[in-house]
Chains A and B, each alone.
Chain A
Amino acid sequence: AQSVTQLDSQVPVFEEAPVELRCNYSSSVSVYLFWYVQYPNQGLQLLLKYLSGSTLVKGINGFEAEFNKSQTSFHLRKPSVHISDTAEYFCAVSAPEGYQKVTFGTGTKLQVIP
């Protein structure tokens, strides 16, 4: 079974400052990693995903994430945040077991301060 840990429940950051949202995972098999964003009262939208190859993955809205196998991490970064980035961010893992179950972290609320 796999698990995902997002240690930071809330991250306040000033507008135009850089941000990093942390994600660590645990799995006994190879996994695929995802970051999703959720705006208030909406479903989730895919930001980016890591399947294989280059460990630095670029996504939408200027976000990127780096897969680090030795540290079992997949941290999300953005060099300069905007007010519109205020949302909940979820890290997720998917592994080839059962019915393609996806496990989500508990989420990190990014609060961009003007």
Chain B
Amino acid sequence: GAVVSQHPSRVICKSGTSVKIECRSLDFQATTMFWYRQFPKKSLMLMATSNEGSKATYEQGVEKDKFLINHASLTLSTLTVTSAHPEDSSFYICSARDRRDSSYNSPLHFGNGTRLTVT
């Protein structure tokens, strides 16, 4: 149980275009999903917290207009990288908590990540 599907797993796009990454909780509902960015040999950097039906909460230093997050339902959150540039190339990972167990002592369920390459 507790499967999070992230799509696509890999994407290559040209500089200036936009890319949408989807994060779906397949067998549970998630009122909160988290988006992370992972640099090579670095930890996961929390970009934003996505709350179903409301605006996402962004971490300091993350551009809201560049990384658009939408959490339209209890099972789907999307991250859109707008006007992508080569420096946006990275590994993006989403995670979610089951709404039935949403306390801070419950583990996160992770998607398999998306490798974005901007040429």
Find the residue from B32, B93, B110 having the highest chain A CB count within 10 A. Answer: B110
A45 sits at the interface (CB 8 A): yes
B95 sits at the interface (CB 8 A): yes
- Complex Cα distance A47/B95, Å? 15
B77 sits at the interface (CB 8 A): no
B46 to chain A, nearest CB (A): 7
A46 sits at the interface (CB 8 A): yes
- Complex Cα distance A108/B66, Å? 31
Nearest residue (CB) in A for B113 is: A43
A44 sits at the interface (CB 8 A): yes
Q: Contact at A100–B95, with CB atoms within 8 Å?
A: no
Interface size, chain A (Cβ < 8 Å): 25
Could you say which of B57, B102, B113 contacts A42, with CB atoms under 8 Å apart? B113
Contact with B along A16-39 (1 / 0, CB 8 A): 000000000000000010101000
User: Given the interface contacts A49-B107, A94-B105, A102-B108, does A107 sit within 8 Å of B43 by beta carbon?
Assistant: yes
Query: Chain B residues near A32 (CB, 8 Å)?
Result: 104-105
A93 to chain B, nearest CB (A): 10
B21 sits at the interface (CB 8 A): no
B100 sits at the interface (CB 8 A): no
B25 to chain A, nearest CB (A): 13
Can you list 15 A-B contacts (CB < 8 A)?
A9-B41, A32-B105, A42-B113, A43-B110, A49-B105, A90-B43, A94-B105, A99-B32, A100-B97, A101-B46, A102-B34, A102-B108, A104-B43, A104-B44, A106-B43
Q: Which residues of B are in contact with A by a Cβ distance under 8 Å?
A: 4, 6, 9, 32, 34, 41-44, 46, 49, 51, 57, 91, 93, 95, 97, 102-105, 107-108, 110-113, 115
